[in-house]
Structure 1
Amino acid sequence: MTKNNLDFFGEVLMNRVRYEAIDGCERIIDGKIRDEESVKDYITLSTKEKEKKLTRSKIVDITLNPLLWTLEHEKSLGLVTHQLHMTYKNDKRRIRVLLPENYDKDLTKNYPVVYMHDGQNVFYCNEAYSGYSWKVIHAIKLNPDLPKMIVVGIDNAEHDRINEYTPWKITESTLPEDIELGGRGEEFAEFVMKVVKPFIDKHYRTKSDKYHTAMIGSSLGGNISAYMGIRYKDKIGGLGIFSLANWITSKAFNSYIAREELDPEQRVYIQVGTQEGDDTDRQLMYGNMKQAYIDCALNYYKQLIKGFVPIDSIRLNIYVDEEHDEKAWAKHLPECLRFLSEEW
């Protein structure tokens, strides 16, 4: 099928979807759809005549415009999906690559790469765990001062996430002694650096040196990013560490960072809110969760300085009343990218 035929098919399909959406909305308004949710909507709308009249057009804006926007920007920015083999799990992992606008037009240009953990939460709200994503596409489109870059979202392992994002066995928790968690972080880190990164550098026009390679993660994703920033300091030049959760293995991490030589050329962005901590955290730790997250950020900051990372190469932000979620992280992602890319 030719491109023109595909474009025509897409236009017909979207027009059909639009028609069906409006028709379905009108049937709800007229009380013709009798399932429980539709009946509730009918009762609500029947008491608000002004809103009722506007709903036909609003339904298009609310339900179709995000879909159209997604399709348009996936096409213009170039979001590409790959499934890469993980030897240590004998499984595949989804990797998505967001290419800069006009990537295919200037074939002589190479780009810096930003690797982001928890890939399901990186691009779209409708697949994000919390229902709110990092809004990376928005961040890039709305901040044209940022240098053009390739963003790689690496999906997490869902139920096995805590094991992959934790390099050491978790011993500092309220878990029963017969439950073991953590300890597969090194294997996952090796997958990222020996499978994902070489694949990206081979198949895309990247600036593969450490100065143009950054990694961003939040919570446990921040833990594995901080670890990899030390373990692979010769390949990662920038780190975005959001809501570091090193309290889960603080003794092991503190020992590790103290005995390793840090990279004074590395740039590190650290962010934490004063209202961090959620129900999942409380299953793993007693005490003041909010203070635990703040302490993790402050301790990491001090450890970097002690390891001779220049203070000008570290950005520490503590945000009042911000919580442990993608909404807070997305809000400050442009600042993080701007800081990490100063030399790009």
Structure 2
Amino acid sequence: MERSFYGRGCPHRRWRCADNRSLPDSAASDGAESLDLFAGELAVDHGGDERNHEYNLTINAEYGFGGKGEAYAAFLAETLKPYIDSRYRTLPEPEHTIIGGSSFGAYVSLFAAIRYPHLFGLVGGISFVMWHDDGAILELIRQSVLSPALRVFLSIGELETDNPEFNRLANEHVALARRTLIAAGVPESRIRFDVVPGGTHHESRGANCSPKYTAGCSSRKSHYANKMDRRQACSQ
């Protein structure tokens, strides 16, 4: 099933949902008797060349990208999620809904969870970066009323790039984001921060990290993924 919400010429042109009517054996291991007791994941395709604009809240003047993050998050929250919740047998409450991504996808996922706390109760950020926004995401956290029920998973690779100074700053930025979230009211026990030894800035690391930020969530979760690269996503 494909559906366009934006019309011709829009970078979000189309997104696809695949119906999977088979219930895995593992989904019934806890006595589940219906399809609304297993997790569903929707990977949301980015707009190709528009990716860096869509995934960032502010405009980075030096590199000339960003500024469409608010509109992108609004699309997820106000158009896509309501459609999915109306079409499928979901549990729409925030405690049952995860949003996550990698790189700029991690950045926009954290932004969406802060902007729409009544929709997204858990956020996963793999290779989370904020080198480009001049502190905008931190200021947003400080100014927002965050739910103490929010759960956050952030990770950074030890070797995100071949630049040791960038890697050091990237690690410090994730640690700073964690401290800022705690200061804003998210309990320390609900934030996980991993430094991945030898981890690089590559899509393949997402497959290894995703189970960590879904661990502890029941099988009743909806998962919206904003991934690093079009090639890995079924939609983004």
Q: Structure 1 segments of 4 or more deviating over 3 A?
A: 87-91, 95-101, 105-109, 339-344
Counterparts in 2 of 1:8-27, with a 5 A limit?
none
For the pair 1:149 / 2:39, whether they are aligned, the reply is: yes
Residues 168-317 of structure 1: matches in 2 within 5 Å? 168-171=58-61, 173=62, 175=63, 180-277=64-161, 288-317=165-194
- CA 262–98 in structure 1, closer or farther in 2 if over 3 Å, else same: farther
> Cα distance, 1:101 vs. partner?
3.8
Could you tell me the percent identity over the aligned residues? Answer: 24
Structure number having the greater helix percentage: 1
Distance 1:93 1:295, change over 3 A: farther
CA contact (8 A) 2:106 2:129 kept: yes
Measured against aligned partners, the alpha-carbon deviations of 1:277-298 in whole angstroms (never above 9, x if no partner) come to 37xxx8xxxx822112212211
Q: What is the CA distance between 1:318 and its match in structure 2?
A: 0.6
Query: Are the equivalent residues in 1 in contact too, given 2:146–2:184 (CA < 8 A)?
Result: yes
Answer yes or no: is the 8 Å Cα contact 2:39–2:220 preserved in 1: no
Secondary structure of the equivalent of 2:186? Answer: coil
Kindly state the Cα deviation for residue 88 of structure 1 after the two structures are TM-superposed.
11
Q: How many equivalent residue pairs?
A: 214
Say whether the 8 Å CA contact 1:271–1:318 is kept in structure 2. yes
**Which one has more relative contact order, counting CA pairs under 8 Å at least 6 apart?**
2
CA distance in 2, matches of 1:216, 1:158: 19
Provide the C-alpha distance between the structure 2 equivalents of 1:248 and 1:100, rounded to a whole number of angstroms.
Answer: 42
| Greater Rg over alpha carbons, structure | 1
Three-state SS of the structure 1 residue aligned to 2:92 is coil
Letter of the structure 2 residue corresponding to residue 230 of structure 1: I
Separation in 2, partners of 1:329, 1:257: 25
Q: Is the 8 A contact 1:269 1:339 kept in 2?
A: no
Whether the 8 Å CA contact 1:97–1:150 is kept in 2: the answer is no
Structure 2 segments unaligned to the other structure (5+ residues): 222-236
Query: Are 1:325 and 2:232 matched, yes or no?
Result: no
Q: TM-score, normalised by structure 1?
A: 0.57
Q: For 1:108 and 1:232, how far apart are their aligned partners in 2? A: 29
2-side partners of 1:231 and 1:320: how far apart? 32
Deviates more, 1:304-313 or 1:228-237: 304-313
User: TM-score, length-normalised on structure 2?
Assistant: 0.81
Note if contact 2:39-2:219 (Cα within 8 Å) is conserved in structure 1.
no
Q: Which residue of 2 aligns with 1:60?
A: none
What amino acid maps onto 2:156 in structure 1?
A: V
Post-superposition offset of 1:301:
0.8
| Residue 110 (structure 2) pairs with residue 110 (structure 1) | no
Q: Distance in 1 between matches of 2:152 and 2:8?
A: 30
Aligned CA distance change for structure 1 residues 300 and 101 (closer, same or farther; 3 Å):
farther
